[in-house]
Structure 1
Amino acid sequence: MTAWKLAYHANCWGPLGGDAVGVTSINRLAYRTFGDMAVAARDIAAAGYDGIEFFDGNVVESAGDHYAAIRNILADTGLSLVSVYAGGNFIFKDILDEELARVAKAADAARALGAEHLVVGGGARRHDGTRLSDYDALASALDKVMAIAAEHGLKAHYHPHLSTIVENPDEVRTIFGKTAIGFCPDTAHLAAAGGDVAAMVREHASRISYVHLKGWQRDPFAFVPVGRGDCDNGAVIRALKDIRYTGWICNELDAWADPAAGARESHAFVQAELAKV
């Protein structure tokens, strides 16, 4: 069997949002799941996963007690913290230092808690349209994220995302032609933007050392467990096998009525597909 380790993102165990203070203080605008992360971790461990990913807001908030709350969660469940996820606009020069200070806080938490990866998403779409120079600004910011990650002994990855200036295959090619940061493909977002995700995995094979698998259905638009919907994650798994990928696969699902059941279903799908290859 291919030597992959399975993790799950804790973002499904409550409403997704950010710190409202970030509206007026950019360095506080972290992602956060407004739920009980201890419950999330117990459900994820019970579903058979070995690792977990948290949003930056859910780990940085425990910095005052030296991350004791998160350390206890990891110890109680036996899960490894694999990655911390952060984001930013990244194209606006006047606020970039504030955003990078927040990314550095996420990196501090990731290092303290034993994570291997730092993942960022973003690249704002302007109200009056994207400018070509926005890709240069984003690439420059991602180079700075790489430097922050390296200082903390982490691998840095960029995560293309709907609603940003990097959604479709051409935009993905554009940004990775301007920065050396790693590529964390989110299969659902790439598929929803019109990408052949398996082909993109093969095209960008040398960039990939961490992966988000997520299901997506076209009509009605929704994110779903990994084996459902219109994103062929089976083909993606075969592509990852073909490029000899090793490392962590993080299943993800933004919202689900029964998050524990969603985690179990996605785990079972990936294990079944791995058995085939």
Structure 2
Amino acid sequence: MASEVWVADAPVNYGVFELGGEKGGRTPDGEQCAAWVAEAGYDGIDLGPSGFLGRGAELQERLRRHGIGLAGGWVDYPFEDDDAFRAASATLDDIIANFLEAAEVMPDRPPRPTLASAGSPLRQAHPGGQAPGLGLDDAQWDVFAANLQRVVERFRAAGLEPTFHHHVCTYVETPEEVEQLLARTDVGLCLDTGHLILGGGDPLTALEAWGDRINHVHLKDADKAELDAIVQGQGDMRAVWAGKAFVPMGTGDFDAEAFMPALLASGYRGWAVVEQDYIPAPDDPADTAFRAQRANREALRRWLP
């Protein structure tokens, strides 16, 4: 029986995200990124910044030409602050339209709009969930959950089922914060193996505990010792990425040998997005990210051919 887990790549793996490259570092445009993703052997791609892969007919033609579907896409809001959320969520209608455009390409493999906390400067300055007192209190959690649920219902009304991504340097980072989120909302969970390791959790334990809520997966390896060194040096969110806390598949603390068979045995069906976020440096060869993503894909073929 063919696997019902489809493997995707993401623009962040090519330096296309808010942290960008170092001064002079090169990132691909949408066409080059889509071509590399397909050539590296992936079934799909994340959306990236609005318009990066195109909009409307251009987006659909690009995905079809390269034989890839849309797996998901990052959507973060300051859910814990009513006023900030109200202002930021003015973008939501356009974001929903963007997902619907891409969803037409492979309707049997629907994308997961990937919701997340926008975090705060304080959380961004204290990665790894190692700063007591910087979390949400009960009242803030109530606001967070209510605003998140509003966004979830907007996507559902449009025929899309979203997911929520726990993430380093945000208000949903540690296992305890994930538990709060799950208890207060009905949104599905995007289990990110690398971010969970850096947040103090264990992916296999999380799969067992939260399996009935997991509707999206990010496969990411991470080096906990590198994070600890960054924390000890009082490094911030950018230092986590620039310090290469996220590492090539099979070289960090993610135990794929245990996790991958358990994921497949759990009956999970959907997208598995491979991530190794990358900040291009000026001297990096143009195909650095492509070679890394091809290697990551090959490392998973024993479980996801």
Common fold: TM-score over 0.5: yes
The 5 Å alignment of 1:140-219 reads: 140-219=146-225
Instruction: Give the C-alpha shift of residue 39 in structure 1.
Output: 0.9
* Pair 1:173–1:104, CA change in 2 (3 A): same
Give the structure 2 partner of residue 269 of structure 1: 299
Moved more, 133-142 or 38-47: 133-142
Identify which of structures 1 and 2 has the higher relative contact order when contacts are C-alpha pairs closer than 8 Å and 6+ apart. Answer: 2
1:88 and 1:174 map into 2 onto residues whose CA distance is 17
* Pair 1:54–1:225, CA change in 2 (3 A): farther
Contact 1:187–1:233 (CA<8 Å) still a contact in 2? no
Asked if residue 88 in structure 1 is aligned to residue 77 in structure 2, the reply is yes
2:61 and 2:302 map into 1 onto residues whose CA distance is 32
State the secondary structure of the residue aligned to 2:246: strand
Give the structure 2 partner of residue 252 of structure 1: 275
TM-score when normalising by structure 1: 0.84
Instruction: Give the C-alpha shift of residue 70 in structure 1.
Output: 2.2
* Pair 1:92–1:237, CA change in 2 (3 A): same
1:35 and 1:196 map into 2 onto residues whose CA distance is 33
Give the structure 1 partner of residue 93 of structure 2: 104
Contact 1:199–1:239 (CA<8 Å) still a contact in 2? no
Q: What stretches of structure 2 of length at least 5 have no aligned partner? A: 21-25, 104-109, 123-132, 228-244
Asked if residue 46 in structure 1 is aligned to residue 20 in structure 2, the reply is no
* Pair 1:188–1:147, CA change in 2 (3 A): same
1:171 and 1:14 map into 2 onto residues whose CA distance is 28
- What amino acid is the match of 2:119? A
Instruction: Give the C-alpha shift of residue 15 in structure 1.
Output: 4.8
- What amino acid is the match of 2:302? A
1:219 and 1:126 map into 2 onto residues whose CA distance is 23
- What amino acid is the match of 1:262? A
* Pair 1:77–1:147, CA change in 2 (3 A): same
Instruction: Give the C-alpha shift of residue 166 in structure 1.
Output: 1.2
Instruction: Give the C-alpha shift of residue 130 in structure 1.
Output: 2.9
Count of aligned residue pairs for this structure pair: 258
Instruction: Give the C-alpha shift of residue 144 in structure 1.
Output: 1.1
Instruction: Give the C-alpha shift of residue 34 in structure 1.
Output: 5.8
1:253 and 1:147 map into 2 onto residues whose CA distance is 31
1:56 and 1:142 map into 2 onto residues whose CA distance is 21
1:162 and 1:94 map into 2 onto residues whose CA distance is 24
Give the structure 2 partner of residue 29 of structure 1: none
2:48 and 2:277 map into 1 onto residues whose CA distance is 12
Show CA shifts across 1:55-110 (max 9, x none).
Answer: 24245x945xxx34423321321111121221122111112122222233222100
* Pair 1:18–1:62, CA change in 2 (3 A): farther
State the secondary structure of the residue aligned to 1:41: helix
Contact 1:234–1:273 (CA<8 Å) still a contact in 2? no
Instruction: Give the C-alpha shift of residue 131 in structure 1.
Output: 3.4
Give the structure 2 partner of residue 116 of structure 1: 111
- What amino acid is the match of 1:194? G
Give the structure 2 partner of residue 241 of structure 1: 264
Instruction: Give the C-alpha shift of residue 111 in structure 1.
Output: 0.6
Give the structure 2 partner of residue 223 of structure 1: 246
